[in-house]
């Protein structure tokens, strides 16, 4: 799982590479047309319009390639890394952590509860109506992970437990992820 700072650097490098590629393609078109276009600056001509069109198409295709190759959210890539998704720790919802003997009364007030026994988490209740899901069955991620990197995990799991060391910070559910609209990653 990547951190938001790693996404920021990847987006900056990827967007700059896309601009450089598009400028190179526009330069090649300029040379092929005998140097008469200058991207339409100075005088409006067909060669300049063709250079501009080549730049736009090359830039668009390069962005699509970079986005899929680096698995970056579109807002992060298009802003050259200025807009990054939050970390999983910031997006995680706090859930009550209760002793196994107090689960029934806490479940009346909360939909999902982390159950512990002797100060050690043993599972989560609220996912299934008839049982506690074992702690070993749950997917856990570090709090520094970018929330967009949880997409692949949440496609198969109902929730992810966000931890910081041995401490539980909260959970991110499929519903929370979809409601957040943090950008799709392919």
Q: What is the pLDDT of residues 155-166, one digit of tens each?
A: 888 889 999 988
Q: pLDDT at position 21, please?
A: 97
pLDDT attached to residue 158: 86
In the predicted model, is pLDDT for residue 105 greater than 80? no
Question: Which residue, 72, 81, 93, is CA-closest to 182?
Answer: 72
Q: Is residue 173 very low, low, confident or very high in pLDDT (cuts 50, 70, 90)?
A: confident
| Per-residue model confidence (pLDDT) at position 92 | 87
Q: What is the pLDDT of residues 58-89, one digit of tens each?
A: 999 999 999 999 999 888 999 999 998 888 88
How do residues 12-59 score in pLDDT, each as one tens digit? 999 999 999 999 999 999 889 887 776 656 677 788 888 889 999 999
- Find all residues with CB under 8 Å of 89, minimum gap 6, and list them: 143, 144, 162, 164, 169, 170
- Residue span(s) of the chain under CATH 3.10.580.10 come to 88-180
Cβ contacts of 57-62, under 8 Å, gap ≥ 24: 58/21, 58/22, 58/24, 58/25, 58/26, 59/18, 59/19, 59/21, 59/22, 62/17, 62/18, 62/21, 62/22
Q: What is the pLDDT of residue 103?
A: 66
Please state, in angstroms and rounded to a whole number, the distance separating the CA atoms of residues 10 and 175: 28
- Residues 6 or more apart in contact with residue 183 via CB below 8 angstroms: 73, 74, 75, 76, 85, 148
Q: Closest by alpha carbon to 97, among 69, 72, 131, 126?
A: 126
Integer Cα distance of 56 and 48 in angstroms: 12
CATH of domain 88-180: 3.10.580.10
- pTM check: above 0.85: no
Residue 154 neighbours by CB distance under 10 Å: 19
pLDDT of residue 109: 66
For residue 12, what pLDDT is reported? 96
Average pLDDT (97-101) is 76
Q: What is the mean pLDDT of residues 101-113?
A: 68
What does the pLDDT read at residue 178? 81
Please name every residue paired with 139 in a beta bridge, in sequence order, or none if there are none.
Answer: 160
């Amino acid at each position: 799982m990547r951190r938001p700072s790693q996404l920021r650097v990847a987006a900056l490098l990827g967007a700059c590479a896309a601009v450089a590629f598009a400028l190179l393609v526009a330069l090649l078109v300029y040379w092929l047309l005998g140097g008469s276009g200058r991207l339409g600056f100075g005088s409006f001509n067909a060669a300049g319009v063709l250079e501009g069109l080549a730049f736009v198409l090359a830039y668009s295709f390069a962005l699509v390639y970079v986005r899929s190759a680096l698995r970056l959210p579109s807002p992060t890539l298009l802003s050259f890394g200025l807009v990054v998704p939050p970390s999983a720790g910031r997006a995680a919802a706090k859930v009550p952590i209760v002793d196994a003997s107090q689960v029934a009364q806490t479940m009346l007030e909360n939909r999902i509860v982390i159950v512990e026994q002797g100060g050690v988490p043993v599972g989560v209740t609220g996912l299934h109506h008839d049982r506690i899901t074992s702690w070993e069955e749950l997917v856990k991620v570090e709090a520094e992970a970018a929330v967009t990197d949880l997409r692949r995990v949440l496609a198969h799991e109902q929730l992810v437990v966000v931890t910081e060391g041995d401490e539980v910070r909260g959970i991110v559910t499929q519903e929370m992820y979809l409601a957040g609209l943090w950008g799709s990653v392919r």
